[in-house]
Amino acid sequence: MTQDIQIHGQSFTLHPSGSLFWQEKSALLISDVHLGKISHFRKYGAAVPLKAIHANFQLMDEAIAFFNPSTIYFLGDLFHSHLNSEWSLFEKWTLKYKCEIILISGNHDIISPLKYEALGIKIIDDLIEEDFLLTHHPEKRKDFFNFCGHIHPAVKIRGNGKQSLRLPCFFKSHNQMILPAFGEFTGSFTLKPTKKDQVFAIGDGMIIKI
């Protein structure tokens, strides 16, 4: 189940995959996929199931099929590190889609831009669209609402007893929304919201407003 919100007069849809769809621009925002991280773990002996490699691609397929975007913006850390076997999977994946793909470079994006350009993917440092600033790291810039990633936000939900549950989330403050990490095995960082913040947790295939 998705959640629709309004920001600065524009309409956005939060999806349980961790992606966000900008309706007026037909643009899908995805952050921190970290492709290649699973293969990196397996290379050094971590017992990560091989099928987990395909989970990120399947999840991206589901979000794209749901929204049918004209543009996909990756808000940084698309690939985890150096080239490995997952790059060839990514190359094949990009051939399935005719929409424009733009990567806003993150701190993990160290693969040569020439590799992305060969796939028709544009790489930029940030992007301004109307009143909105798209970056990888959270950034405050006067008069702009910032969509970003990097933090891998999560929120802790406590029950009536001592039990608690930590869930990935979209974390919205006054002029910023931090997207959850999209990729599998990326880890997360628990944020503590104030009364002014809005938190949209992801759980059991639903967006849950906290």
Q: For 62-86, write each residue's pLDDT tens digit.
A: 999 999 999 999 999 998 777 778 8
- Please name the residue ranges forming H helices in the chain: 37-43, 55-67, 86-94, 113-117
Q: Which domains does the chain have, with CATH numbers?
A: 3-147 (3.60.21)
Q: Is the pLDDT of residue 39 over 70?
A: no
pTM over 0.85: yes
- Angle, helices 86-94 vs 55-67, to 10°: value is 20
Res 48: pLDDT: 55
pLDDT in tens, 112-155: 999 999 999 999 999 999 999 999 999 999 999 999 999 999 99
Res 83: pLDDT: 75
Other CB atoms within 10 A of residue 107 CB? 10
User: Are 168 and 180 within 8 A, CB to CB?
Assistant: yes
Res 86: pLDDT: 87
Residue type, position 77, single letter: D
Q: Is the pLDDT of residue 41 over 60?
A: no
Q: Is the pLDDT of residue 46 over 70?
A: no
Residues 5-22 have a mean pLDDT of 98
| Measured CA distances, 168 to 22, 41, 113, 209 (Å) | 20, 22, 30, 12
Spatial separation of the C-alpha atoms in residues 162 and 154, rounded to whole Å:
19
Q: Is the pLDDT of residue 27 over 80?
A: yes
Res 174: pLDDT: 93
- Residue 116, classified by CB atoms within 10 Å of its CB into exposed (0-12), middle (13-18) or buried (19+), is buried
